[in-house]
């Protein structure tokens, strides 16, 4: 029980108690902790005290509150080194987690001005559009939207569920991504994106716009990734070009 007459505020004592439970392994990453009412009853404190303690734990990044589901111990973030060219599947395998994918769309669409410019084609040209939801250890973390020139129409015949698109291109036609440029911004989750990534509508997400090039330095695809920043981080290492 907490010490009612101690100099340390009750909410700090409660925060320390839950933090110790997390660090000792009593609560593991992804575990749901007690509800606010259960915690108030267990430790003999008010709901206000509990909410203040939970808020402090959230600020420390130890727990996360999910709308309508409860409060959970945070999981280690998935991290991707964007300086190094690698597929999502390769990144997951390096981290010891199981990659996964669910095909959302695979069809021919008209390229808008921005996509056409990145692919070096005329606005309104037909392109192959492939959209997938990517998973890491069965957890949805990234929405991918990729646009390919029409010469890659053979992609319409394939299903990209739990396999690598990079690997398929290499095996099918010997095509590889040799370089890529990226622009990283923030966006807010639409209703559809929130449902797919299991976040709330309006939550901040990372928005990565990329253009990948093949061995001939021709645009291979223009892509968009919408990433749950609570579960995913991007890493880049820079050096002074003079050294």
| Domain boundary pick from 73, 92, 113 | 73
The residues, ordered by sequence, that sit 6+ positions from 92 with a Cβ below 8 Å of its Cβ are 78, 98, 99, 136
Q: For the segment 48-85, what is each residue's pLDDT rounded down to a tens digit?
A: 999 999 999 988 888 888 877 889 988 766 666 566 66
Structural domain including 217 reads 78-235
Same domain, residue pair 19 and 102: no
**Which of 45, 73, 101 is the endpoint of a domain?**
73
Domain contains 200: yes
State the Cα–Cα distance between residues 181 and 131, nearest whole angstrom.
Answer: 19
In terms of phi and psi (left: phi > 0; alpha: psi -120 to 50; beta: otherwise), the region of 202 is left
Q: Residue 83 has what DSSP assignment?
A: T
- pLDDT reported for residue 103: 93
Query: Taking 70 as the threshold, does the pLDDT of residue 222 lie above it?
Result: yes
Q: Are residues 131 and 215 in the same domain?
A: yes
92: domain CATH number? 3.40.1410.10
Same domain, 101 and 206: yes
Q: Pick from 224, 227, 184: which is nearest to 205 by CA?
A: 227
Q: How confident is the model at residue 243 (pLDDT cuts 50, 70, 90)?
A: very low
Burial class from Cβ neighbours inside 10 Å (0-12, 13-18, 19+) for residue 143 reads buried
Confidence of residue 192 (pLDDT cuts 50, 70, 90): very high
Count of Cβ atoms closer than 10 Å to residue 135 Cβ: 19
Q: How many domains does the chain have?
A: 2
CA angle 64, 68, 70 (to 5 degrees): 40
Residue 30 included in any domain: yes
Smallest Cα–Cα separation from 175: which of 166, 163, 185, 184?
A: 166
Q: What is the pTM of this model?
A: 0.68
Mean pLDDT, rounded, for 186-190? 93
The verdict on residue 173 lying in a domain is yes
- d(C-alpha 119, C-alpha 129), whole Å: 13
Task: Quote the pLDDT of residue 138.
Answer: 86
pLDDT in tens, 77-135: 666 656 666 677 777 777 777 888 999 999 999 999 999 999 999 999 999 999 999 99
């Amino acid at each position: 029980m907490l010490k009612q007459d101690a100099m340390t505020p009750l909410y700090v004592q409660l925060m320390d108690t839950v933090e110790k439970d997390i660090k000792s392994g009593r609560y593991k990453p992804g575990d749901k902790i007690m509800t606010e009412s259960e915690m108030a009853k267990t430790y003999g404190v008010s709901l206000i005290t509990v909410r203040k303690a939970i808020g402090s734990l959230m600020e420390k990044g130890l727990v996360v509150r999910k709308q309508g589901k409860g409060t959970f111990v945070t999981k280690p973030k998935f991290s991707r080194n964007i300086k190094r060219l690698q597929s999502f599947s390769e990144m997951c395998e390096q981290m010891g987690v199981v990659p996964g994918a669910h095909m959302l769309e695979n069809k021919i669409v008209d390229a808008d001005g921005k996509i056409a410019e990145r692919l070096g084609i005329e606005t309104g040209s037909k392109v192959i559009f492939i959209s997938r939801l990517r998973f890491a250890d069965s957890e949805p973390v990234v929405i991918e939207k990729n646009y390919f020139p029409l010469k890659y129409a053979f992609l319409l015949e394939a299903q990209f569920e739990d396999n690598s698109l990079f690997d398929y291109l290499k095996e099918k036609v010997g095509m590889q991504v040799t370089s890529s440029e990226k622009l990283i911004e923030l966006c807010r989750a639409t209703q559809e994106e929130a449902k797919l990534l299991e976040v709330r509508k309006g939550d901040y997400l990372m928005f990565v716009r990329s253009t990948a090039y093949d061995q001939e330095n021709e645009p291979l695809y223009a892509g968009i990734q919408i990433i749950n920043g609570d579960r995913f981080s991007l890493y880049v290492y820079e050096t002074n070009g003079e050294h």
